[in-house]
Amino acid sequence: MSTLIDVQSLTKTYGSGDNVQTVLNEIDLEVKEGEFVAILGPSGSGKSTLMNILGCLDGYTSGRYRFGNKDVTGLSEAELSLFRNKQIGFIFQQFNLLPRLSARANVELPLIYQRLSKADRIKRTEEMLARVGLEDKLDHFPNQLSGGQQQRVAIARALVTNPSLLLADEPTGALDQANGRQIMSLFHELHAEGKTIIMITHDIDIAKEATRIVHVRDGRIEKEERVR
Ligand SMILES: Nc1ncnc2c1ncn2[C@@H]1O[C@H](COP(=O)(O)OP(=O)(O)OP(=O)(O)O)[C@@H](O)[C@H]1O
Ligand SMILES: [Mg+2]
């Protein structure tokens, strides 16, 4: 499998002079296409900071980041947002759906930035919501859906553009065990279909669902472990 993500000596600091805080310290990370990687670490270890950098939502202080065969370091804001829209699907702990939009409108939104006909957008949106088992909730608003259902809408939204990478930050963190299980079995299906997934968690049991666990502590990679 070819390399999708190649991070070398990635460092992120905040502040300056005596107040400099190193949040990520010389991170080296390689993720191959089709891998399902968990990034595991305690609160404050730098997981979300790393996710935001991998997702091109945030910059870094030094080091190198290549995505596919593209060096993302030199891209402008406009190029980065286009790149994100095409290549990366995000899932967050708090779902981050737009409350005034229906399930279908939330999922359709990323497609509006791409040149697709309305008919194609509707088709892909409905297919994606059916894929996550919500074909009967198309016109429900977020506050009319359970947490697990909202997270499945968020997954449909993340996947509707067919991104190369799915980035999830504590995707089951706000869910009960049954709904968490449902989300994880969806991740297993996506992995089996060849999707590359990076999932951030502080929960070892959730991390063990992945094929590889990257342990992060104090902004460093402590060890890596292959699960299966
Ligand atoms: N904008 C910022 N300015 C200064 N420090 C920051 C900033 N953002 C994050 N940090 C610091 O970076 C460190 C790592 O934060 P991060 O959010 O990446 O942790 P995390 O591993 O995701 O934690 P959690 O499990 O609680 O979500 C923390 O010590 C935090 O205080
Ligand atoms: Mg976090």
Q: Report the CATH number that the domain containing residue 49 is assigned in CATH.
A: 3.40.50.300
Provide the domain count of the chain: 1
Residue nearest to atom 18 of ligand 1 (CA): 46
Which residue type occupies 98? L
pLDDT for 32: 96
Query: Is residue 18 situated within a structural domain?
Result: no
In angstroms, rounded to a whole number, what is the distance separating the alpha carbons of residues 93 and 83?
23
Query: Is residue 114 situated within a structural domain?
Result: yes
pLDDT for 143: 97
Query: Is residue 176 situated within a structural domain?
Result: yes
pLDDT for 44: 94
In angstroms, rounded to a whole number, what is the distance separating the alpha carbons of residues 210 and 72?
26
pLDDT for 81: 87
Starting at the edge strand found earlier in the chain, the sheet holding 62-67 runs 21-32, 3-14, 62-67, 70-71
Q: What is the pLDDT of residues 30-85, one digit of tens each?
A: 999 999 999 999 999 999 999 999 999 988 999 999 999 888 887 888 888 888 98
To test the pocket of ligand 1, the residue of 14, 52, 170 to mutate (highest count of ligand atoms within 8 Å of its CB) is 14
Ligand 1 contact via 219 beta carbon (within 6 Å): no
Minimum-distance ligand 1 atom for the alpha carbon of 216? 21
Query: Is residue 75 situated within a structural domain?
Result: no
pLDDT for 145: 96
Provide the residue range defining the domain that includes 146.
Answer: 34-59+80-226
DSSP string for residues in 106-127: HHHHHHHTS---HHHHHHHHHH
**C-alpha of residue 157 to centroid of ligand 2, in Å:** 21
Identify the residue whose tokens are 């070398």. Answer: 8
| Residue numbers of the chain with a pLDDT score lower than 50 | none
Query: Is residue 213 situated within a structural domain?
Result: yes
3-class DSSP assignment, residue 172: coil
Minimum-distance ligand 1 atom for the alpha carbon of 52? 18
Ligand 1 contact via 41 beta carbon (within 6 Å): yes
Residue nearest to atom 27 of ligand 1 (CA): 43
Residue nearest to atom 25 of ligand 1 (CA): 43
DSSP string for residues in 40-97: E--TTSSHHHHHHHHTTSS--SEEEEEETTEEGGG--HHHHHHHHHHHEEEEETT---
**C-alpha of residue 42 to centroid of ligand 1, in Å:** 11
Q: pTM here?
A: 0.94
Minimum-distance ligand 1 atom for the alpha carbon of 41? 21
Query: Is residue 107 situated within a structural domain?
Result: yes
Ligand 1 contact via 47 beta carbon (within 6 Å): yes
pLDDT for 76: 85
Query: Is residue 8 situated within a structural domain?
Result: no
Ligand 1 contact via 51 beta carbon (within 6 Å): no
pLDDT for 101: 97
